[in-house]
Amino acid sequence: MSIRLGIIMDPIESIKFSKDSSLAMLQEAANRGWQLNYMQMEDLFLQDGVALAHIQALEVRDNPDNWFSLGEKSVQKMGDLDVILMRKDPPFDMEYIYSTYMLDAAERDGALIINRASSIRNANEKLFATEFPDCIPASVVTRRADTLREFLAKHDDIILKPLGEMGGASIFRVKQSDPNISVIIETLTKNESQYIMAQKFIPEISAGDKRILLIDGEPVPYALARIPAKGETRGNLAAGGRGEGVELSQRDYDICAQVGPVLRKLGLVFVGIDVIGDYLTEINSTSPTCIRELDTLYGLNISAQLMDAIEKKLKV
C-alpha cells in the first residue's frame, strides 16, 4: 500500500535546501514510494465539521537548484490522507491554534497527525518544560513587572523570552545593573498585558545550547550544540550561532528518560528538546530542526527513523 502523506509547511520555495528538516523528511518518504501532498496554512478550511484543504501533489528531488514541483490544487478531505506532518513554523499565534482545531477534525476522520494537534496546542514550547521541575532552571512565567524584578533581584542574571516565538527571537539577557530593564519588560509584556518567561541565566551556554531530537520518545544519541557567536547570548542558528555535534551526556539521557514517555503518551512523535548545561530549557513540538546537520555529522538518517515510527503507527 502506498502511504498518502500530507505536509503543512511554510512556502517550499523559500526553504534552505541544505538545512531544511521538512525537506529531508519528504525526500525519505519519496524514497519509500509514498505519495506526497502539499498544503500551506491558507489552504486549510473547515466545512460542516469536515476538515478540507486545497491540496497539491508534490514531487521532491535531491537537487539544490530544482528541488520540488507542484501539481494543480484540488479540494480534498484531509482525513483521507494517511498521515499529515504539521511543520508550520511559529509564531504560535491564534491562527496557528485555529489550524490545530482543523487538524483535530482531520484526525477524527482518520488521518494520523504528526505531531498530534491537540498536544501541540496544549504543550507550549516554553511552558511545557515547566512540567519537569527536576530538569529546568529556576524560572517564572508572569506578565507582572514587579514579579520579574523580584526574580531578577534574586538571581541577578536572567533570560527573558516570549512564549510564542522561535529562533531566538526577542530573547533578552538582563542583569540587575542593566539600565534598560524597565523598557525591556514593558516591551516583552506589552505593558503587563502579555505573559513571558524568565529563566536564570545558565553560563554553560558558552559550550552550546544542545538540540536533542526524540522520535516517539527515544533520543537520537547525538545532539547539535548551538554555540553563540562572539558577543551573543543566543545559540540559535537563526541568530548566528554555529553548530557542533556532541554525544549525549548521562544527564541528557536522564532528562530524556523523564520527558520521552510523556511525549509518547501525548502523540508528540518528533520533538526537539533544548538543553543548556544540566538544564532543560524548551520542548519544541511545532517544527523542530537539525536533522540535516546531525545526518551530515554522524552519517545518520533521522528521517528514516521517523518514517519507520510512522509506519509502525499506521501498522503497514
Pick the CATH number of 203-306 from 3.40.190.10, 3.40.50.720, 1.20.1440.130, 3.30.470.20: 3.30.470.20
d(CA 264, CA 88): 21
Pairing type for strands 112-114 and 83-87 reads parallel
Catalytic residue among 87, 126, 210, 292: 126
Report d(CA 42, CA 30) in Å as an integer.
24
Q: Which residue is listed with cell 527515544?
A: 218
DSSP state of 40: -
Query: 3.40.50.720, 3.40.50.20, 1.10.10.10, 1.10.260.40: which CATH number matches 4-121?
Result: 3.40.50.20
Beta strands in the chain, from DSSP E residues, in sequence order = 4-9, 35-39, 44-47, 50-60, 68-77, 83-87, 112-114, 139-142, 157-162, 172-175, 196-200, 209-215, 218-219, 222-227, 242-247, 270-276, 279-284
The cell numbers describing 116, all together, are 498530534
Distance CA 120, CA 91 (A): 13
Angle, vertex CA 141, rays to CA 251 and CA 150, nearest 5:
100
Domains 4-121 and 203-306 share a fold: no
**Hey, what CATH class is 138-200 in?**
alpha beta
- Which residue among the candidates 226, 236, 252, 293 is catalytic per the annotation? 226
Q: How far is CA 129 from CA 40, 75, 254, in A?
A: 28, 38, 14
Q: Tell me the domain boundaries of the chain.
A: 4-121, 138-200, 203-306
226 catalytic? Reply is yes
Catalytic residue among 88, 282, 292, 293: 282
Whether residue 284 lies in the annotated active site: yes
Q: How far apart are CA 219 and CA 18, in angstroms?
A: 23
284: cis peptide before it, omega within 30°? no
Known active-site residue 234: yes
**Angstrom distance (rounded) from CA 242 to CA 249:** 20
Catalytic residue among 211, 216, 292, 293: 211
Count CB-CB contacts under 10 A for residue 260.
20
**Is 211 known to be catalytic?**
yes
Question: Among this protein's residues, is 292 annotated catalytic?
Answer: no
CA dist 96 and 121 (Å) reads 9
**pLDDT tens across the length of the chain (316 residues):** 689 999 999 999 999 999 999 999 999 999 999 999 999 999 999 999 999 999 999 999 999 999 999 999 999 999 999 999 999 998 889 999 999 999 999 999 999 999 999 999 999 999 999 999 999 999 999 999 999 999 999 999 999 999 987 667 789 999 999 999 999 999 999 999 999 999 999 999 988 999 999 999 999 999 999 998 776 676 666 667 788 999 999 999 999 999 999 999 999 999 999 999 999 999 999 999 999 999 999 999 999 999 999 999 998 7
Rounded CA-CA distance 115/112 in Å is 9
